[in-house]
Structure 1
Amino acid sequence: MNMRTQQSESSIWSLKNVSLRGVSGDRLVDVDLEIPQGITAIMGYSGAGKTSLLNLLVEYECPHQGSVVRRDHSFPSDSTVETFWVPHSLGLWPQYDVQEHLALVHPDPETLDETVEELLNAFRLTSVRKKYPGQLSQGEASRLSVARALASQAKVLVMDEPLVHVDQAHWPLYWDAIRHYCEKNKTSLVFSTHMPELVLKEAQHVVCLDEGAVVYAGAVYDLYYAPPSYQIGMYLGPVNDLSDVKAKSSQNQSETITLVRPEQLTLIKEESSEWEVRQTTFSGALEKVEMVHRQTQSNQTFYHRPPRATLKPGDRISIHLLLLLFCLLTCFGCHSDSAPELSFPKIVQWSLPSEGTKVPAPRSVNVGPKEELYVLDNAGRVLVYNPENELVRKWMMPDYDVGKPEGICFLKNGQIAVADTHYHRVVFFDDQGNVQKMLGEQGEGPSQFIYPVSIVQDPSGNIYVGEYGGNDRVQKFSEEGEFLLEFGEHGTEPGQFERASGMVWHQGKIYVADASNNCIQVFSDEGAFLEVLGTKTGGIPLYYPYDIAIDRSKEEFYIVEYGAGRITKTDLEGRVLGRFGKTGSKQGEFVTPWGVTVNSKDQVFVADTGNRLIVKLIP
């Protein structure tokens, strides 16, 4: 398949009927393509033609047929390099040391020393600044090749699998530097990769190659949420094909969508279903489920994102759509209402400290009584930051091999209660991380939990624990841990939950973020269902709300929407006061945000799980 794109005035390169021959056959075949300004990823399997395409863009090779035209010639001065290339071989100069590599390409003598020092620090090359390429590790050499490209101040960067030899635990650091440079200097970047996660996080546009032909060229999120085919959709990770399966929509609407991503559905045990699980494979983020239809014996494989492996061979399951997909397919990042955009003049964001070779992702955030920010991450850690965003202490959960905690609450007696989600209990710590006691065990009875996920306390000291996992409910305990009552149940009707998650107590009411039902449900603290928040004021369009926080000084709620990559602000009646963010990886954008909290200065903190960042929004 060859995708022909329309010529754009904002494009950098235009390729028409381009073919490039190789020793054993054509490397590129009849390519018609526009490379736009911005950040473009070139994807494809080994041998698909990624390097060949980049070689043509930088004129390292010439096409045997067709034309490659460079369209963007708007450069500020003759001293600025038009394009800087980072080849797969890195192209380092053996006769120059690390520092000289950066100094030789920098065009401005007045900022030379400052720029060199910034790049040496950003790419952790300070300690090897006087070494030559032959003395560097592969990772150091890869970082130098990228740092040199940034030092050139070129308006277009072309990179062939940049940082491929660098340990992935530190990729966020270096990609932050690349992204910051591109945004600051309005620089375009074209890079090749085979990693879907990197494309989703860093690129705006994507070109997919297969055996030298362009099979897709367009926006990354168009390909992710509305792939033209199953095969092309797989370039950005697993896709589920619903064409032979009848799925139930959480919106109770008739859906014609056939291709959905793992986070857009859930697989639920249902004894009456004709689909039976044959085998499952759980990788921590995704579960691969191989199924068979009991009547037709047809086979189907699905991917979904459960909190942990929950299905086993012999289970019968039904497929439930979680999202209002129509909005995604017709208007990416759109909102169905006209809510004003919230303004945050200053945004600060940072990554969590690495754990081994990995950079963990935050899942829950809450502000403690001393204005310290407490973060729970998917490495099973509790991290504590002071108001200057400095890590001041941390500790591990008692157990964390099979799953991670998700909710944290500060109690009147000075203890810190953590919902130890996958160990079916609540763990109580002192402020130094020492375990004081535990509450609960696995089960569906009083004082038992399936997946406890959130905790709040009322002024009388009573503790409320929300849980999901097919036994969705809220249990109320005394401060000493005595079971008092429970309310809610699994379901889609008012007063029922599908994945109960974050909670807030305020003025005798419990507000529960009901993620899969896309609403906030309100109960009295004695367990009586009161309303769905916003019903009396026109409703709140929400897209997988996963957490809720309250700014008590203003009596306003902040709701984080996992599916929409945004936060929504409402008053106590549910009137929408504004929204902020959309799905993406730039500043002010989020990918599957998991938690939200507000401090006494009205600063909002978001656990941006997909981007592996803590984001601090300062009004």
Structure 2
Amino acid sequence: MGKGLVVADAGNRRLVELSPEGKLVRTVPLPPPFRYPDDVFFAPGGKVVYITDPEVDAVAAVSYPEGRLLWLHGTPGKPGASPGQLDNPDDLVPLPSGLLAVADIRNCRVLLLTPQGKPFRILGHTQVCRNQNGLFNKPNGAFPLGKDRLVVTEIVGHDLAIVDLEGHRLKTLPLPLHYPSDANLTPWGTLLVVDWWSPGAVLELDLQGRILWRYAPTGKERLDHPSVAVGLPNGLVALTDDRRHRLLVVDRKTGRLVYQYGKTDRPGSHPGELRFPDGLDLLR
């Protein structure tokens, strides 16, 4: 099955580590000021994870698996656009350069931070919200696309912006989604993006925006506000289905469910249970 996964179990204020087969390895409680840690990404080496919390408007680095707060950027409980403030941040993602990218949704910008959490560069113009060159419209994810580009998911406009590390828009890919979330590059060179909606969906696109695969089960297996889908090295896709309180791993070639962690529509904190799982990353 390859590498294990770590899930940001937002409603339980913890991380949940799973084996490659989907078995519980450990849980890692997160310290204050976290109230709803909705994303997790590993730093190279696997000893540090980056966490975002839109409820307290802050992002942070945390030791793994100890769960110790290393640094924090943002002013907890005080959203804003002034230096040191964020407003509904989403995803703190390490880039090949060593910098970190965070989508600052309500400020309509992407911030680049140093590995120590210090401001390095602002992409876009703070609180200027447009789908055009040099600007973003409610971005909710900024992921690396090679060494010198980012793919930025824009909620308003329903598209993906391919930009360089100065924020210049190189291409815009329209999306047939209600609320696109967290587009990211797969190990095999395509993009995965989800529809944070009910019923939700997962799309796989090539870099020209052509749809290669769509996962949108209906009926009892429908998705309810999935947040992120990531490609695994073995070609499978893992996704968080937030409001049904489960993680799914799917074979995209057949659409078959390989395994599920969490009890459908039954939130909890015991082994085998999740409560609003919102983010995930592969173990490093």
Give your verdict on TM over 0.5.
yes
Larger mean Cα displacement after TM superposition, 601-610 or 404-413 = 404-413
- Could you tell me which runs of 5 or more consecutive residues in structure 1 were left unpaired when the two chains were aligned: 1-369, 534-538
| Cα distance in structure 2, aligned partners of 1:400 and 1:391 | 26
The equivalent residue for 1:404 is 36
Asked if 1:518 is matched to 2:158, the reply is yes
Matched ranges for 1:243-322 at <5 A? none
* Shift, 1:556, TM fit: 0.5
The equivalent residue for 1:296 is none
The equivalent residue for 1:549 is 184
The equivalent residue for 1:577 is 212
| Cα distance in structure 1, aligned partners of 2:117 and 2:87 | 17
* Shift, 1:446, TM fit: 3.6
Partner SS state of residue 573, structure 1 = coil
Match of 2:145 among 506, 509, 520: 506
* Shift, 1:468, TM fit: 1.5
Change (3 A) 1:478 1:595: same
Amino acid in structure 1 at the alignment position of 2:31: P
Rg bigger for which structure?
Answer: 1
Matched ranges for 1:182-581 at <5 A? 371-376=3-8, 377-399=10-32, 403-412=35-44, 414-432=47-65, 433-441=67-75, 442=78, 443-469=80-106, 471-489=107-125, 490-495=128-133, 496-507=135-146, 508-533=148-173, 539-552=174-187, 554-563=188-197, 565-581=200-216
- Structure with bigger helix share is 1
| Cα distance in structure 2, aligned partners of 1:584 and 1:502 | 29
Counting matched residue pairs gives 240
Amino acid in structure 2 at the alignment position of 1:482: K
* Shift, 1:569, TM fit: 0.6
Q: Check conservation: 2:31, 2:68, Cα contact below 8 A.
A: no
Partner SS state of residue 20, structure 2 = coil
Change (3 A) 1:383 1:611: same
Matched ranges for 1:161-200 at <5 A? none
| Cα distance in structure 1, aligned partners of 2:169 and 2:142 | 14
Q: Check conservation: 1:565, 1:583, Cα contact below 8 A.
A: no
Change (3 A) 1:488 1:407: farther
Please list the CA deviations of residues 296-330 of structure 1 after superposition, one character each: whole Å capped at 9, or x if unmatched: xxxxxxxxxxxxxxxxxxxxxxxxxxxxxxxxxxx
Q: Check conservation: 2:37, 2:53, Cα contact below 8 A.
A: yes
Amino acid in structure 1 at the alignment position of 2:108: D
* Shift, 1:520, TM fit: 1.1
The equivalent residue for 1:193 is none
Q: Check conservation: 1:379, 1:400, Cα contact below 8 A.
A: no
Partner SS state of residue 423, structure 1 = coil
> Whose RCO is larger (CA < 8 A, sep 6+)?
2
- Could you tell me which runs of 5 or more consecutive residues in structure 2 were left unpaired when the two chains were aligned: 254-284
Change (3 A) 1:584 1:418: farther
Q: Check conservation: 1:457, 1:464, Cα contact below 8 A.
A: yes
Amino acid in structure 2 at the alignment position of 1:381: R
| Cα distance in structure 1, aligned partners of 2:56 and 2:218 | 31
Change (3 A) 1:511 1:419: same
Identity value in percent: 22
* Shift, 1:385, TM fit: 0.9
Amino acid in structure 1 at the alignment position of 2:204: K
| Cα distance in structure 2, aligned partners of 1:530 and 1:570 | 17
Q: Check conservation: 1:405, 1:419, Cα contact below 8 A.
A: yes
TM-score (norm 1): 0.37
| Cα distance in structure 2, aligned partners of 1:458 and 1:481 | 13
The equivalent residue for 2:256 is none
Q: Check conservation: 1:591, 1:610, Cα contact below 8 A.
A: yes
The equivalent residue for 1:70 is none
TM-score (norm 2): 0.77
| Cα distance in structure 2, aligned partners of 1:457 and 1:446 | 21
* Shift, 1:392, TM fit: 1.1
Amino acid in structure 1 at the alignment position of 2:208: E
- Structure with bigger strand share is 2
